[in-house]
Structure 1
Amino acid sequence: MARTAQRLGALAATLGIAALAAAPAWAQKKYDPGVTDTEIKIGNIMPYSGPASAYALIAKTQKAYFDKVNAEGGINGRKVNFISYDDGYSPPKTVEQARKLVESDEVLFIFQPLGTASNAAIQKYMNAKKVPQLFVATGATRFGDNPKTSPYTMGWQPNYQSEGRIYAKYILDNKPDSKIAVLFQNDDYGKDLLKGLKDGLGAKASMIVAEAGYEVSEPTVDSQMVKLQSSGADVFVNVATPKFAAQAIRKAGDLGWKPMHIVNNVSNSAGSVMKPAGLENAKGVLSTAYLKDATDPTWKDDAGMKEWTAFMDKYFPDGDRTSSFTVYGYASAQTLVQVLKQAGDDLTRDNVMKQAANLKNVSLNVLIPGITMNTSPTDFFPIEQMQMQKFDGEKWQLFGPVISGELGG
């Protein structure tokens, strides 16, 4: 009996030592606000109303993707709590919603807030609070070009200046003696892409013979289109958000103006832009792509698009499959899941940014073949490659090589 007691005592002591030895492993869990053993709370700001409401489909797709992740057990055992608010594409409202998410909801970070002016309005606040403004849904160069001064702000999609340079290269290669007219949204977004276009044209920037800006509060861009057509330009670069891009395509058709028409990437959705513009009007329009187009039969038997289709069937059956925004939402959410998996149990805001800046040749199943995501502590632009495409009246068709648009590259 005494011997049994001694054995039990020894066993208890051993278990005690084992428990102590295990303690440091448990101590490795590091959490900032928004994280528990079972949850990761993520914020989002999206224009569910207002002039850019077409983009709301992105956040709806992201929500559906996180539903999928949660149904499959979450990320490292934690469910994603995705809290998304409407800002109506109004910067003052964006500020209000960002404060609510950070100070009231206490999210770990804000993921994919949409819009250039909207993100510019909260950039200083987010960095002062040291809360990640992660994978912003805008290609504005300012959200990735200075990791030192804005270490908590990172882009996701190709930046607008790189995109503008790609268009300049295409124009110089294919219509070197053309006259160019540009419609642009009169804010950082529109001016950023216009700068890239001018920088890319270099000594031939004088090819731009007409520019017309518009405000998001304007009902239409009809008057701008009349002005641009009267310039005699034979190349038209359409730098507008979906509602206005569609108006511009339709108005060009109404005017009988048939220049080489390039629409910027954020507004090339077949479902959200080309259909409202009138498919006949949109025929022949050029753009760029970095994501596979769900309407393109090229990807009919593609394994990645089959996975996307299965996701849509199960988690977002009412989602628009002709829209690039559902593919965009899916891909951006996949990117975030990759970052959170890399972060493991160190779910601090600093480690989330560290992992976001450590993506190495990440290939998503809906990225165009040959395009991968790469970041580093000095490179906050995950995607910097694109391919030209042409709308045939029903769908987009890729052509030419994958082009790198790295700034300074």
Structure 2
Amino acid sequence: MAGRGRIHAMLRAARTGTALCAAAGALALALAGGAQAQDKPAGKDEIRIGNVNAYSGPAAVYAVLGKVPAAYFRMMNDQGGVGGRQIRFITYDDAYSPPKTVEQTRKLVENDQVAVMYGSLGAPTSSATLKYLNGHKIPHIFIASGATKFGDQAAWPWTMGFQPSYQTEGKAFAANILQTRPDAKIAVLYQNDDFGRDVLKGFKDGLGDKAKMIVAEASYESTDPTIDSQIVKLKASGADVFMNMTTPKFAAQAIRKIAELGWKPTHYLGSNANSIAAVLGPAGLDNAKDIISSAYLKDANDPEWKDDPAFKKWNAFYDKYLPDADRKDALTVYAYVAAQTMEQVLRQAGDDVTPANIMKQAANLKHFRSDLLLPGIEINTAPDDHYPIEQLQLIRFDGKQYVRFGPVIDSSKKR
């Protein structure tokens, strides 16, 4: 995922009229009429949108990525829907387990008959459904992951990511290290799946013939209880730069363990796990000082945006539709922007909300700007470009908030 994004803060169930139903370990949210909507057949008066997310398991901090669009689409329904159609959003829990993702995705397509899969979470989980959804010609769009493969329109024409790719971010970190620490000794911690390997590849590609600067690597499984032993091993390598390519739970653990060991490397942290509320806070703000990450979204914690009309609108949305949301969590900005983009796709689709036209419109976004994107960053797609956001800016945590530095980095011409 891009922005800022995230650990122990799970958002309580939204008091929005959305129906939460648990069945066989799945969490289903049905909009446009509450629980009764589940029995309503698809037709000219509704658009069915499917989603799979981690409401339990090791990535449950990302539950907000299902709850925010549920609330956002409810708001749209209250405003008349799209072209006279109400939006029915159905989301199931996969506990961040690829086999469960496949099961829940099949249920959404074959039983719920969704027209589009939107915003599903994760690289390993979403990867497990690529062949199935492309084979059934179901749009699989705005996946909450920066895995580069989700922009490979030649291989997966019905698939599209959303945030800047992990490889883009890895290259940006590498460029900064080469510029500021040319003699660095680098230690890398990464998740042993498509996510971790993707950002690691981008990082090594960015270092080029200087990849020998990496003196130690350690991986972990998403099911591991801790990564303490990996951090001890990496510190012992003598590294003075640490690349933290992890998800929120493990990012917070790494920050705490580094402080406990008295290790003081220059610390780079992926944007998917850089939330102040969900990661840095639980890890200890003092421990997180000077961490470098990247951003493409405005930060709700930054006083620079205190009087920004975009955040006033954003706050009004949460006040009415999701009042319990932790607005310090960058995921609440990310999920809102992704939902805005899905709304734009549906409005461009007009009366033709078939899967084919929804996919066509997703691949035809021209200079679309959510007002919560950072200045100079916009969303563009094309039939041969399934990377919606290809710009980012480096940020540094000062102990209270992130501070942007350097220029906006545009990777659209550099893949």
TM-score (norm 2): 0.89
| Whole-Å separation in 2 of the counterparts to 1:193 and 1:149 | 20
State whether structure 2 residue 401 is matched by structure 1 residue 395. yes
Shift of 1:321: 0.5
In structure 2, the partner of 1:109 is: 116
In structure 1, the partner of 2:25 is: none
Q: Choose between structure 1 and 2 for higher RCO, CA contacts under 8 A separated by at least 6 residues.
A: 2
| Whole-Å separation in 2 of the counterparts to 1:234 and 1:54 | 30
In structure 1, the partner of 2:188 is: 182
State whether structure 2 residue 375 is matched by structure 1 residue 376. no
Q: Deviations over 1:182-216 (max 9, x none)?
A: 10000111000000000001010111111100001
In structure 1, the partner of 2:66 is: 59
Aligned CA RMSD, in angstroms, stands at: 1.2
| Whole-Å separation in 2 of the counterparts to 1:391 and 1:305 | 21
Shift of 1:247: 0.4
| Whole-Å separation in 2 of the counterparts to 1:150 and 1:286 | 33
Q: Deviations over 1:362-401 (max 9, x none)?
A: 1101100100001111110000000111111222111221
The correspondence of residues 10-409 of structure 1 with structure 2, limited to 5 A, is: 36-145=43-152, 147-406=153-412, 408-409=414-415
Change (3 A) 1:369 1:188: same
Change (3 A) 1:407 1:272: farther
Contact in 1 for aligned 2:191/2:246 (Cα 8 Å): yes
Unaligned runs of 5+ in 2: 1-39
Shift of 1:349: 0.9
Contact in 2 for aligned 1:162/1:406 (Cα 8 Å): no
* % same residue: 57
Change (3 A) 1:339 1:35: farther
SS at match of 2:128: helix
Shift of 1:120: 0.8
| Whole-Å separation in 2 of the counterparts to 1:102 and 1:399 | 44
| Whole-Å separation in 1 of the counterparts to 2:51 and 2:127 | 15
In structure 2, the partner of 1:6 is: none
| Whole-Å separation in 1 of the counterparts to 2:412 and 2:257 | 33
More displaced stretch, 391-400 vs 52-61 = 391-400
| Letter matched to residue 215 of structure 1 | E
Q: Deviations over 1:44-102 (max 9, x none)?
A: 00000000000111211111111111111111221111101000000000000000000
Q: Which has the larger radius of gyration?
A: 1
| Whole-Å separation in 2 of the counterparts to 1:405 and 1:323 | 26
| Whole-Å separation in 2 of the counterparts to 1:215 and 1:177 | 30
Contact in 1 for aligned 2:166/2:195 (Cα 8 Å): yes
Q: Deviations over 1:125-152 (max 9, x none)?
A: 000111111111110001112x122111
| Letter matched to residue 217 of structure 1 | T
Shift of 1:347: 1.0
Number of equivalent positions: 376
| Whole-Å separation in 2 of the counterparts to 1:292 and 1:273 | 18
| Whole-Å separation in 1 of the counterparts to 2:120 and 2:65 | 10
| Letter matched to residue 295 of structure 1 | N
Greater helix share, 1 or 2? 1
| Letter matched to residue 174 of structure 1 | T
Change (3 A) 1:96 1:283: same
SS at match of 2:103: helix
Q: Deviations over 1:318-347 (max 9, x none)?
A: 001100111111000000000000000111
In structure 2, the partner of 1:10 is: none
| Letter matched to residue 242 of structure 1 | P
Unaligned runs of 5+ in 1: 1-32
Q: Which runs of 4+ in 1 moved over 4 A?
A: none
Contact in 2 for aligned 1:186/1:215 (Cα 8 Å): yes
Contact in 1 for aligned 2:42/2:113 (Cα 8 Å): no
Contact in 1 for aligned 2:395/2:404 (Cα 8 Å): yes
SS at match of 1:346: coil
